[in-house]
Amino acid sequence: MDHNSIIDRNTFEVTLHAEDHKDVFICDKEIANAVALLNKKGYKTLASCGGHYKIEFYEYLKEDISKLEEYKNNNRIIIKEIRENDFDYWQEVDKTIMYILFDKKYNFNNLPKGFELDNTREKTCVEYIINFYDENNKHRTIKDVTREIESKSKELEEWVKLLPRI
């Protein structure tokens, strides 16, 4: 399954094939229309992600041995190796983030429900966290997560349509 779209850097039109075109950039299909429209309206973007469902783990090395018992009781952690003073482990990635990073600071009002505005750096980032576990700590299905990604992508695009040109 192809998860990316190609956006022309000059016209910001979404196209199907890059064919080594120097004036395009890659964008996740789910948010390509929103990213293209943002750029057309003058809100220049630097990076984005539509969110992805995947089972993966991050590896952590040389964690202090004092945390071992706590980590042994966490069902999202696999202890890899225990040594005298430290241990290594894998921790399940339990969420994905849909985001758009802009070239500078913007003060957006009325973001779509659940989206957050991160203006703590020199550049604005609009993001939405999609958890892989529900409120009862039960792992969600790929179908449920994918539906949420699709729904939030549509909400994001509708929000962008309402933004003024700058």
Q: How confident is the model at residue 25 (pLDDT cuts 50, 70, 90)?
A: confident
User: What is the percent of the chain with per-residue pLDDT over 70, rounded to a whole number?
Assistant: 93
Q: Where does the pLDDT of residue 11 fall: very low under 50, low under 70, confident under 90, or very high at 90 and above?
A: confident
Residues paired with residue 24 on neighbouring β-strands, in sequence order? 8
- In single-letter form, the type of residue at position 125 comes to C
Kind of pairing, strands 95-102 and 125-131? antiparallel
Could you give the CA distance from residue 70 to residue 47 in angstroms, rounded to a whole number? 36
pLDDT confidence band for 1 (50 / 70 / 90)? very low
142-156 average pLDDT score = 97
Q: Which residues of 39-56 are buried (b: 16+ CB within 10 A; e: fewer)?
A: beeebebeebbbbbbeee
Burial of 73 (0-12, 13-18, 19+ CB in 10 A): exposed
Q: Assign 138 to helix, strand or coil.
A: coil
Helix (H) or strand (E) holding 70: helix 68-72
Whole-model pTM: value is 0.81
The contacts of residue 145 (CB under 8 Å, 6+ apart) are: 53, 96, 130, 132
